[in-house]
Amino acid sequence: MGTSVAIVSGIGAIQSILFTLLIFLKKERNKSDWILMVWFLVFSIHLSLKLGIEFYEVTSIDILIMTISFLHGPFFLFYSNSILGERFTRKSLLHFIPFLFFFIGCFYVEDIHEPNWEVILLIVKLTSLILYPSFILYDFKSKIRFLKSKTSNSSVLEYFWIKTAAIIFLVSMGVSVIRLITELSVGVSYFEFVDVLRYTVLVMIIGFYGLKYGTIYKPEEVSEYLSSNKGKYKHSPLKTNEINNISDLINQYFKENKSYLNPDFSLTKLSRSIDIRKHHLSQVINSEMKTTFYDLVNTKRIEYATLKIREGESSYLTMEGLGYDSGFNSKSVFFYHFKKQTGKTPGQYKKEMSTN
C-alpha cells in the first residue's frame, strides 16, 4: 500500500468516526440517523482495514476487505429511502445476501487471490455498486415532485445532495471499470488510490449534507403525500360521523396547543396527543380537510407569524428569526409558505402592517 493510499484511508476512517459521534450526540435521532450511523461505522471499518492489512496479514481481514463493498449499496438505499418516506422491513434484509454469500464463500475458496475468483468478485461488486445508485436516481425522480410542490426551489436544492452522491458513486464506478480492464490486461492495480479516495469523498459529502439537510422533511410527510394520491382511503372503515369527530379533535387541538411551533412536531406526536391512529389522522386531513399534515402545520405556523407581526411582537426579531420562532427550520421554507399564504414576503407584510 502506498503512502498516499494510507493517508487517504486514515482520513476517511477518522471522518467516518467523527460523523458517527456527531450524529450520536444529536439531541433527537430518527431512523435515518441510526441508519447513517451504522453506515459510517461500515465506512470506518472498510477504510481502517485498508490500513490494518498493511501490518497484519490475516485471511479474515483480507476477505472482509474484498466483500465489505457489498454493504455500501444497501445502506445508501436504506438511508435515501428513510429520508424520502420508505419504511425498513424484514424484506430489506435480503439486500445483505450478496455480502453474506461472498463473505462466507471466500472461506471455502482454496486461494482467495486466484485471478478468476478476484475477477468474478470484482464484476459482481461493480454491478452492485452501479445498480444501487442507479435505482436511487430513478426513485428520486418519482418523489421530487413532492419536494417541488411543497417548498421553494432553494429548499429543493437542499435535497439534491442525494442525487449528487449517487452520481459521484456512478462516476467512480467508471474508474473502477477502467481498473478492472487494467487488471485483466496487465495484472496490476493502478487505481487503488482512486478507489480509496472515492469512499473518503463520499463520507465527506454524505456526512456534511446528511447532518445539515437530512431532516428537512419528515419521512411521514413524504409518504403521506404519496399515499394520498393512490386512493388509499377507498376502503377505509371510518364512518362519516367518526371522520367529523376526528376533524373536530384536530381543530380543537390546534386551537388549544402550540406544539406546531416545535420544528420536530410530527404526525406521530399529534397521534399520541389526541389518541387517534396515524393513518386515520392522515385520512381525515387528506380527504376531509383537503390538505396534508405538512401543509396544515405550516398554515398554523404562518398564522402564528402574522399574528406576531400584527401585534408588534416581532420587532425584536429578524424575519429569519421570526421563521425559526414560528417552527420553521429553514429560512427559505418560511419565506415560501409566508408568501404562498399571504401573497407577500414577511418584510412586505410587516411594512404594510406598520403603515396601517
Q: pLDDT band at 192, cuts 50/70/90?
A: low
Higher per-residue confidence, 260 vs 156:
260
Half-sphere exposure of 350 (CA within 13 A, CB side): 18
Higher per-residue confidence, 6 vs 136:
136
- Specify the DSSP class assigned to residue 71: G
Higher per-residue confidence, 216 vs 237:
237
This prediction's pTM: 0.62
Half-sphere exposure of 318 (CA within 13 A, CB side): 4
In terms of Cα–Cα distance, which of 154, 63, 138, 151 is closest to 103?
Answer: 63
- Cα separation, 13 vs 51, whole angstroms: 10
Average pLDDT over residues 216-220: 50
Query: 272 is written with which cell numbers?
Result: 399520541
Same domain, yes or no, for 207 and 270?
no
- Cα separation, 154 vs 345, whole angstroms: 16
Q: pLDDT band at 151, cuts 50/70/90?
A: very low
Which residue segment(s) compose the domain that 281 sits in?
221-355
Higher per-residue confidence, 312 vs 356:
312
Question: Looking at residue 236, what is its pLDDT?
Answer: 63
- Cα separation, 69 vs 43, whole angstroms: 9
Same domain, yes or no, for 292 and 164?
no
Residue with cell 380537510: 289
Average pLDDT over residues 143-157: 52
Q: Is the pLDDT of residue 227 over 60?
A: no
| DSSP SS3 for 191 | coil
Same domain, yes or no, for 18 and 78?
yes
Average pLDDT over residues 181-186: 66
Q: pLDDT band at 231, cuts 50/70/90?
A: low
Same domain, yes or no, for 225 and 336?
yes
Same domain, yes or no, for 22 and 160?
yes
Q: Kindly report, residue by residue over 57-116, the tens digit of the pLDDT.
A: 666 777 888 888 899 899 989 988 887 667 778 888 999 999 999 899 888 887 877 777
Residue 52: CB atoms within 10 A of its CB come to 15
Q: Which of 114-128, 201-215, 222-236 is predicted most confidently?
A: 114-128
Q: Kindly report, residue by residue over 279-289, the tens digit of the pLDDT.
A: 888 888 888 88
Higher per-residue confidence, 298 vs 58:
298
Same domain, yes or no, for 195 and 90?
yes
Lowest mean pLDDT: which of 99-108, 139-148, 173-182, 328-337? 139-148
In terms of Cα–Cα distance, which of 169, 86, 72 is closest to 130?
Answer: 169
Same domain, yes or no, for 255 and 185?
no
Sequence-distant (6+) residues with CB within 8 A of 98 are 70, 124, 128
Q: Is the pLDDT of residue 147 over 90?
A: no
Same domain, yes or no, for 108 and 212?
yes
Q: pLDDT band at 153, cuts 50/70/90?
A: very low
The gap from C-alpha 322 to its chain's centroid, in whole angstroms, comes to 27
CATH number of the domain at 182, please: 1.20.1070.10
Q: What CA–CA distances, in Å, run from 225 to 58, 109, 277?
A: 51, 50, 17
Residue 137 and residue 281 in contact, taking contact as beta carbons nearer than 8 Å: no
Last residue of some domain: 216, 239, 258? 216
Average pLDDT over residues 343-356: 83
Q: Is the pLDDT of residue 154 over 60?
A: no
Lowest mean pLDDT: which of 40-44, 62-66, 218-222? 218-222
Last residue of some domain: 193, 216, 239? 216
Same domain, yes or no, for 145 and 190?
yes
Same domain, yes or no, for 202 and 258?
no
CATH number of the domain at 330, please: 1.10.10.60
Higher per-residue confidence, 91 vs 187:
91
- Cα separation, 185 vs 175, whole angstroms: 15
Same domain, yes or no, for 257 and 150?
no
Last residue of some domain: 191, 216, 241? 216
The mean pLDDT of the chain is 78
* Total count of domains within the chain: 2
Same domain, yes or no, for 142 and 185?
yes
Q: Kindly report, residue by residue over 316-347, the tens digit of the pLDDT.
A: 778 888 888 898 877 878 888 898 889 988 88
The dihedral over CA atoms of 233, 239, 240, 246, expressed in degrees to the nearest 10, equals: -80
Q: What CA–CA distances, in Å, run from 37 to 131, 211, 227, 238, 335?
A: 23, 11, 29, 40, 32
Residue with cell 387517534: 276
| DSSP SS3 for 57 | coil
3-state helix, strand, coil in the chain (%, to 5): 75, 0, 25
